[in-house]
Structure 1
Amino acid sequence: MTLSASMSAALSGLNATKRQTDVISSNIANALTEGYGRRSVSLSVRPLGGVQVGAIERVVNERVIGDRRLAQAAAGEAQTRSDALTRIEALLGAPDDISSLTSAYARLEGALIEAASRPDVPARLDSAARAGVNLAAKFESISDGIQDLRLEADQQISREVTKLNSALEQVAELNALIFSSNSSGQDAAALHDQRQVLIDSIAEIVPIRQVQREGGKVALFTPTGGILLEGTAAKIGFSSVNMITPDMTLGSGALSGLTLNGNPVRTDGNNAPFAGGSLHALFAQRDEIAVSAQASLDMMARDLVERFQDPALDTTLGVGDAGLFTDGGTAFVATDEEGLSARLEFNILADPDRGGDSWRLRDGLGAAASGPVGNAALLQSLTDRLNESRSSASTATTGLSRSASGHAADFLSGLAAERESGEVELSYQYARYDTLLSTELAGGVDTDRELQQLLVVEQAYAANAKVIQTIDELIQRIMAI
């Protein structure tokens, strides 16, 4: 090999080591940067000797990343569902919680028993009336909490749809930039990093599958067939509301569903275009989980009203008169069960704090005047009716005969079982996500390996520098002859 050829080969080696050093430095500096893909330099031997520096390649395991994204979406869905069930359970309260629904039932029962033991004591009658008022207020409070949960879900859906649309538009823009960079021979690795971060943010909302297209572009689909990005970004539509009441549902048209490029799409079921992920779970929270809880609460409110809206129990009541518990102050009508828990009130006739008379608990709501103060028959009948095992005529009933508080205990028990099942699913999905994330990170930047590679590059640099030094010395000797 001539001196000039040797010099050219050594210089190409120095250039290669410089590029390698730059890439290794970038890898180490970005080892913890989200979305960063490890870089490597492609090297080959030149036909006339020396090193040919090729493109800088981005090294990632697309299959592991794809599986991790699906696990990420599943974990997000499990988390949202679990949180919704936990919050509804907290609204009802634990049985040993003084502010729980079952405790409110127990206080009413206890107050009625105390009043029956001394029906002549106005303070005990007042306490029984206030216990009834508090029980009705507890129903209203729980109903309001459930509707707040639905409203939060509705507003969060709006935020996630906005985020989803924005991310899809940005991915489409990066697709175009990557295609342009690849066509002109420029390094597009940084653009790939940005795109991966954006696609990961989409995977937090809906599960996605990424498919490679020509020129470095990608297309995005949901596993159930929703097209999010194929050339152009899809447009997802949704309209939020400022208030939700029990009668407002997706089926009634009062609440918005999703549209995909202007076409309505399903939001429920495992085959919906956006099934899986936090967006799907938010619709379940708004339209299924909370609606089911509201229906069960309305069933218990109906049971409570119908127990005491019976002329056979209180003979002072006429047909069609409201009983001890009312539907917004009037008698309950069986066809108007929806939202009853939000309208439940203790009869004002027996409420001493609203101008009523608590002695009506002893003598009857429709009594013209106070009767014998020692007569506890009605108070005892009210207590017995509260504890009587009855099945509800509600469509949300379990079909089991229970006392008034027994229906509440069944509801709470069912919620607890569903919440515990959700927590098991949540643990599994997060374990799966963590495992795949660890696998992905293991294939990323390993700083120890990069430092070892840097030592090899330094040795190559020293060897090429020595060749150049030797050639220089030879040239100097030749010049001196």
Structure 2
Amino acid sequence: MTISSALSNALSGLTVASRAAGVVSSNIANAMTEGYGVRSLSVAARITGNAGQGAWVTGVTRHEDAALLGERRRAEAELGRSGTQSAHLARLEALVGTPDQPGSLTARAAAFEAALTVAAAGPHDQTRLGAAVGAAVALAETLNTISDGIQAERLAADGEIAGGVARINGALAELATLNTRIRQDAGGGRDVSALLDAQAVLVDGIAPLVPLESRRDATGALQLFSSDGQALLDGRPAVLGFTPVTVMTPARSVADGGLSGLTLNGRALPLGGAAPALEGGTLAALFDLRDRRGPAAQAALDAVARDLAARFDAPGLDPTRVPGQPGLFTDGGLAVDPAAETGLAGRLAVNAALRPEAGGAAWRLRDGLGATAEGPRGEAALLQAQVEAMAALRPTASGGFSGAARSFGGLVAEQLSQIGMARQAEERTQAHVAARHGALAAEAAGQGVDTDAEMQALLRIEQVFAANARVVSAAQEMIEQLIGMGR
């Protein structure tokens, strides 16, 4: 080996050591950076003719377990779905309220029944009659509030869908831009690891919204698909379409055109049926909340309101009321029509004939809604009949309840029980999904930067650098000796 070849080999070793130190320092610096893929230097022997001529850097390799990454992202989507549904059911349960809460639906129903009982025991007492009317008003207003809350939940879900769609569209556009740069840089022999990191962060940002499958083509560009096969990024980025609303009503739905569906490049996506699109993530859960769970909760509440009104509209209960005229509980002042049940809970009101502030009188609760003058103050027959109407066992005609007969208090308790059981079931699912996601996240974190191993590698690089520097120093000394011998 000549001195010049030794010097060339040593200089190549110094170059490799310098690049390796840069890679290791980058790994250590980004040990806590989300989306960062651990780098390693790819080195090969440099051969000129049949002889080795040192080493050279062939590239920087970014390490990533694609299978584990895909599993973690799918778990994030499932966790997002379960978390959204669990949070919704918890809010719905809080909206209806538990029996121990003074303003809950159960408490209001019990208070109204108790006030009627007290009034029946002392029909001459105007204070008792007024308290019973006030309890009826409070019960109707509670149903109104819960109905408004359900629609607010649906409206909030609609707004979150719009935000999620915007996030996905923005991320897909940025991913496509990065794909272009990756093709250009990879074609020019430049390191694209930082661009791959940027793509990983973008994909992680939308993974909770939609379950994703990813792969790279021969040029290194990222291709992205939903788990049901919808192409989100395949050459060009897809564009999701959605139009939010500003007002939500119980009657609004996708079927009647009152609510927006979801489109992909202008093509309507099926959000229900046997094969719903984009199923399994937060986005699908929000559509489910807006289009299925919310309307189902409203339907159950409307059934409660209808049952309450029907108990006091029963034929023969109030002989003074003309058939077809509003009963104790009205649909915004009109008689309750079973055919117009949708949204009834939000419109339910106590008959103005009973409310002093509306020109009515509380004594009509005792004497009848059609009474034009106050009757005998000791007469309690109608009041007692109303107490019995609340306690009567009646089948529930709508709202998804079973056909079993139940009192009004029993119906309210069953509605709350259904919400509570659904919440508990979803929380159990969420706990299972969270445990799986936590295990996958921990496994992925374990494949991140190992600072101990990187520091050990840095020590080896230091030794290699020192050895190559010593070869350069020795070669310099030999050259100086040869020069000195020629003088």
Please state if 1:14 is matched with 2:18. no
Please state if 1:193 is matched with 2:161. no
1:100 match: 104
Please state if 1:257 is matched with 2:261. yes
Paired residues for 1:294-309 under 5 Å: 294-309=298-313
Please state if 1:278 is matched with 2:306. no
**4+ residue stretches of structure 1 with deviation over 6 A?**
none
Q: CA deviation at 1:166?
A: 0.9
SS at match of 1:256: coil
Please state if 1:396 is matched with 2:400. yes
CA contact (8 A) 1:268 1:283 kept: no
Please state if 1:377 is matched with 2:381. yes
1:267 match: 271
- Equivalent AA in structure 1 for residue 346 of structure 2: A
CA contact (8 A) 1:270 1:276 kept: no
- Cα deviation code 1:189-242 (max 9, x no counterpart): 111111111111121211110022121012111111211111111111111110
- Partner of residue 451 from structure 1, selected from 455, 461, 467: 455
Instruction: Return 5+ residue gaps in structure 2 as ranges.
Output: none
Q: CA deviation at 1:135?
A: 0.3
The CA distance in 2 between the partners of 1:394 and 1:62, in whole Å, is 50
Q: CA deviation at 1:121?
A: 0.9
Please state if 1:89 is matched with 2:93. yes
CA contact (8 A) 1:172 1:232 kept: yes
Q: CA deviation at 1:476?
A: 2.3
Q: CA deviation at 1:46?
A: 1.8
CA contact (8 A) 1:390 1:403 kept: yes
- Partner of residue 117 from structure 1, selected from 118, 121, 130: 121
- Partner of residue 58 from structure 2, selected from 54, 57, 65: 54
CA contact (8 A) 2:296 2:399 kept: no
1:355 match: 359
The CA distance in 2 between the partners of 1:132 and 1:302, in whole Å, is 14
| Cα 1:270/1:18, change in 2 over 3 Å | farther
- Cα deviation code 1:141-183 (max 9, x no counterpart): 0000000000000111111111111111111111111011111
SS at match of 2:219: helix
The CA distance in 1 between the partners of 2:246 and 2:89, in whole Å, is 23
- Equivalent AA in structure 2 for residue 155 of structure 1: G
- Equivalent AA in structure 1 for residue 3 of structure 2: L
Paired residues for 1:331-350 under 5 Å: 331-350=335-354
- Equivalent AA in structure 1 for residue 217 of structure 2: R
Please state if 1:418 is matched with 2:422. yes
SS at match of 1:49: strand
- Partner of residue 216 from structure 2, selected from 207, 212, 216: 212
Paired residues for 1:123-202 under 5 Å: 123-202=127-206
Instruction: Return 5+ residue gaps in structure 1 as ranges.
Output: none
Identity of aligned residues (%): 43
Q: CA deviation at 1:437?
A: 1.3
**TM-score, normalised relative to structure 2:** 0.97
Q: CA deviation at 1:473?
A: 2.0
Q: CA deviation at 1:89?
A: 0.7
**TM-score, normalised relative to structure 1:** 0.98
The CA distance in 1 between the partners of 2:19 and 2:122, in whole Å, is 95
The CA distance in 1 between the partners of 2:484 and 2:234, in whole Å, is 70
CA contact (8 A) 1:43 1:52 kept: yes
- Cα deviation code 1:235-254 (max 9, x no counterpart): 11111110010011112111
Over aligned residue pairs, what C-alpha RMSD do you find? 1.1
Q: What count of residue pairs does the alignment treat as equivalent? A: 481
The CA distance in 2 between the partners of 1:61 and 1:399, in whole Å, is 54
Q: CA deviation at 1:61?
A: 0.9
SS at match of 2:406: coil
2:44 match: 44
